[in-house]
Amino acid sequence: MGVCALRRRAAWQLWPKLLLALLIGVGLSASYWLPAALEAETVNWQRLPVSPTAAFQAPALVAPFHTPDPAAAIPSTQPTVGIALTVLMGAAVGLQLFTRRLQLFGLVWSVAASAVAVGMLMLQLPSLSAALGWCMALAGVSFFAALPTNWARRVIFIAALVGVVTAYVPVFLAFQREAPPFPFNEQGQLQFELRGYGIAGSPSGASIPSQLSLMTPPSPALLTAYTRGLPDRLTLLNGTPDKAVLLRAQSEASIYTIASASPLNAQFTVNPFIGWQAALDAAPLELIPLSDATGYTLSLPPTRGSELRVRLGTTPARQAGGLIGLTALAGLILLWRWQHRRKDWQATFPPLLAPDDLRRMAAAAVTLTIAFIALLSGRFVSPPSPMPGVGLTSSTPLSYVSSSPLQLIAYDVSDQRADKLTATLHWRTSRPLTDLLFISSSLISTNGEVVAESAPVPLSRIPTPAWRTDRYYTTYLSIDAASVPANGRYTLTLRVFPCPAHGTNCATNRALTFFDERGASLGTQITLPRILTR
């Protein structure tokens, strides 16, 4: 009898420790991830083998409770934290009612967690983000306690433990360091990704404030604003927005035409592309008179001196959130310990977990945690390995935008071999592509003669309709240059066109039109700036 009592007491003292480990993991992961979501800041983390490589999109968590910009909102079909938490609460209460195991603590924590979560998502309080993690953990506990069978409890508990360990391992092992500075442009973003620093996922991109003053406006005053990437928009912040009218918006090329009946002295905010947050130096917008003297072309010059530095690992704000959560957890554990020592409280608040359910899980939980840490620690302690792809150490930055969402952002041409000329092109797309695109190249002499050309090839091994907006794709071209005359100067030209039949029946008459950084049309044939000498 005494031995059974001791075993029962030892097992009874085991479950708070396991529950404590589970809640600590949820809280630490919340203190790491949720401030970034609520503050809509950039989240950069070294990828886990079991994690998706997609960019972390903050609007997927805060919408529809808080949508500061409809243009940057994620479609409502994606689940949000609020919706998921509400579904979890409803499932917990419904399961308790169905199994006739309705417990007071489950209802109390469900209502409290829902109120805190909705309030925090609406008010965007990052300092209390860890509390949202505790509320989600308690909602899961209430759901767990309502399960009628022991095997279901074991399955749910192990699944939750696996998720928590996967989430909070980066918090323990991520270290403070800064990525080297990269230019604030598409080429810098490509370098950032290819060197293994991850993908920046900001919901609205970076804003570049610039002043535009027209003292002597033309008649009529036409302004063509050219931006790159997502979201394609030009915003009038102040000045005379009531007198500026949007005449035309060519979204495919990100070109906007604005007419104004009076001089403009307004401040514009240009979002070059989605996925970056950085403090930029003020860069004045450049005004270029149009050839017909009817207006100006408003272009965004390269931002000089602007660099991006992304800090990997935990930040003081997240560490403070973790301390707040740990303090709340300590008080909660003390309350539960006091509860189990008073019989009147045990009658009101039944035990959360039975000792028999947790005794056999203790060894498995500890082993699983050690295995995850041993498996993933090398990915965080060692320097980041470059992602699959071609680095830009020898590539030339470029910014050509086509009439479709396709963008050519860098290239490299090699003519080291006498019989072959190779070219590497880096592409990205700001929106999903619908056509299957092919590319052909030609080597042009100084007198305009085609001396060599290549057959149409796919733009990438991945069909262009399957391209993602947060990835970069590479084209490898090879031109037979054995018959090219020596002692000459040549340029490489490119044409991109749809081929619905995968290489046959290509619609060369529908070749894409490209635009340079100033928004000027380059036509359907791109000429790379580099001059080749043989």
Averaged pLDDT for residues 31-51: 34
Indicate if 274 and 325 belong to the same structural domain.
Answer: no
Verify cis geometry, omega within 30 degrees of 0, for the bond prior to 272: no
Q: What is the pLDDT of residue 75?
A: 28
What mean pLDDT value characterizes the chain?
Answer: 52
Q: Stretch 93-104: mean pLDDT, rounded?
A: 53
Span 233-244, pLDDT tens digits:
334 333 333 333
**Residue for token digits 């104004």?**
260
Q: Looking at mean pLDDT, say which of 96-100, 205-209, 275-279, 464-468 comes out highest.
A: 464-468
Which residue's structure tokens are 């990437």? 229
Question: What pLDDT sits at residue 421?
Answer: 84
Residue 497: enclosing H or E segment and its boundaries?
A: strand 489-498
Lowest-confidence range among 191-195, 507-511, 515-519? 191-195
pLDDT score recorded for residue 259: 42
Look at strands 255-260 and 489-498 and give their pairing: unpaired
According to DSSP, the β-strands at 437-445 and 311-312 are unpaired
Tokens of 213: 């003053």
Looking at this protein, which amino acid is placed at residue 275?
Answer: G
Residue 353 near residue 19, CB atoms below 8 Å: yes
Structure-derived torsion over alpha carbons of residues 167, 170, 171, 177, reported in degrees to the nearest 10? -150
Pair 236, 172 in one domain:
no
Sign of the C-alpha dihedral computed for residues 370, 372, 374 and 377 taken in this order? negative
Shared domain check, 145 and 16 = yes
Both 23 and 157 in a single domain?
A: yes
Asked if residue 62 has pLDDT above 50, the reply is no
Tell which of 308, 330, 345 closes a domain: 308
Domain end marker among 259, 277, 308: 308
In a domain, 48, yes or no: yes
Cα–Cα distance, 235 to 69 (Å, whole number): 12
pLDDT tens digits along 395-418:
566 667 777 788 887 788 877 777
**CA 58 – CA 195 distance, rounded (Å):** 24
Q: By percentage, how much of the chain surpasses pLDDT 90?
A: 1
Structure tokens at 391: 């680095």
Whether residue 515 is predicted with pLDDT greater than 70 in this model: the reply is yes
Q: 328 and 256, same structural domain?
A: no
pLDDT at 234 (0 to 100):
39
Claim to verify: residue 356 and residue 503 sit in the same structural domain: no
Mean pLDDT is lowest, of 16-25, 30-39, 79-88, for 30-39
Q: Is residue 31 part of a domain?
A: yes
| Residue 286 forms part of a structural domain | yes
101 and 164 within one domain? yes
Q: Are 275 and 202 in contact (CB under 8 A)?
A: yes
For the stretch 267-325, pLDDT in tens is 333 333 222 222 222 233 333 333 433 333 343 333 322 222 323 334 444 445 445 54
- 64-89 confidence digits (pLDDT tens): 222 223 233 222 222 344 445 555 55
Does any domain span residue 194?
Answer: no
Together in a domain, 152 and 27: yes
Q: For residue 292, how many other CB atoms are within 10 A of its CB?
A: 8
Domain boundaries, position 488: 396-533
- Is the same domain home to 297 and 437? no
Residue 24: which of 127, 159, 161, 146 has the closest Cα?
161
Domain tally, the chain: 3
228 and 350 both lie in a single domain: no
Least confident of 70-74, 96-100, 414-418, 442-446: 70-74
Neighbours of 393 (CB within 10 A): 8
DSSP string, 279-343: -----PPEEEE-TTSSEEEEE----TT-EE--EES--HHHHHHHHHHHHHHHHHHHHHHHHHT-H
Cα 22 to Cα 116, 148, 365, distances in angstroms: 20, 21, 10
Least confident of 190-199, 266-275, 419-428: 266-275
Which of 308, 334, 364 is at the close of a domain? 308
